[in-house]
Amino acid sequence: MTYVRSVALLAGLVLSSSVAFQVIVDPLDEAKNGSSRPMAVNDVAFLTTTACHPSLYGAGVTNRICFTDFLTVKTLDGGVLNRFQVRGCHVNTEIELGYCRDGACPTTSAYEVVIYSEPWSVMSNAPYIREIVQVPSEPAPRADM
């Protein structure tokens, strides 16, 4: 009988702790992984400063872009990972990186730029810059068909 009580008590503890864990973890995850917001002046400055230094790019980064429009930023992992949504175009030289000069982009594309930064150690790097390919949407069916 004591064995059955011990097993029941243990099962109850496991169940209640898993429910409590679920309640505690979900709000923290949501707070840690914020939603996208419009870019502020300091976000633009941080992005353009980091993007102007290809030595900070990750080994797999092949896109070199200049920016024409700064859309949104999403800060993740307590502020050390920033995901920027921008518009811009591909450039060929390091001098063209950062903010686009007039006439640099005949056409623009949407890009996602991820920058990892540790403010306490003044370390930053851009693990990836990728073009966001937008798939054309299907036209809505007409109501008279």
Residue among 71, 62, 77, 45 nearest 129 (CA): 62
User: What pLDDT shows up at residue 143?
Assistant: 59
Q: Write out the residue range of the structural domain in which residue 43 sits.
A: 37-132
Q: DSSP secondary-structure letter at 29? A: H
Q: In which residue are the tokens 């973890």 written?
A: 25
Question: Residue 78: which CATH number?
Answer: 3.10.450
User: What pLDDT shows up at residue 19?
Assistant: 34
Note whether 98 and 49 are same-domain residues. yes
- Centroid of chain to Cα 53: 19
In whole angstroms, give the CA distance from residue 23 to residue 20: 5
Note whether 20 and 46 are same-domain residues. no
∠ Cα 96 41 51 (to 5°): 30
pLDDT class for 33, splitting at 50, 70, 90? low
Residue 97 lies in a domain: yes
Note whether 53 and 84 are same-domain residues. yes
Residue 115 lies in a domain: yes
Note whether 3 and 50 are same-domain residues. no
In whole angstroms, give the CA distance from residue 83 to residue 6: 49
Q: What are the tokens at 118? A: 């540790």
Residue 138 lies in a domain: no
Note whether 90 and 123 are same-domain residues. yes
Q: What are phi and psi of 106, to 5 degrees?
A: -70, -35
Q: Other C-beta atoms within 10 Å of 73: how many?
A: 22
Note whether 61 and 119 are same-domain residues. yes
Note whether 90 and 108 are same-domain residues. yes
Note whether 80 and 127 are same-domain residues. yes
* Each residue's pLDDT tens digit, 92-144: 999 999 999 887 899 999 999 999 988 777 788 899 899 998 766 566 566 55
Note whether 90 and 53 are same-domain residues. yes
Number of domains in the chain: 2
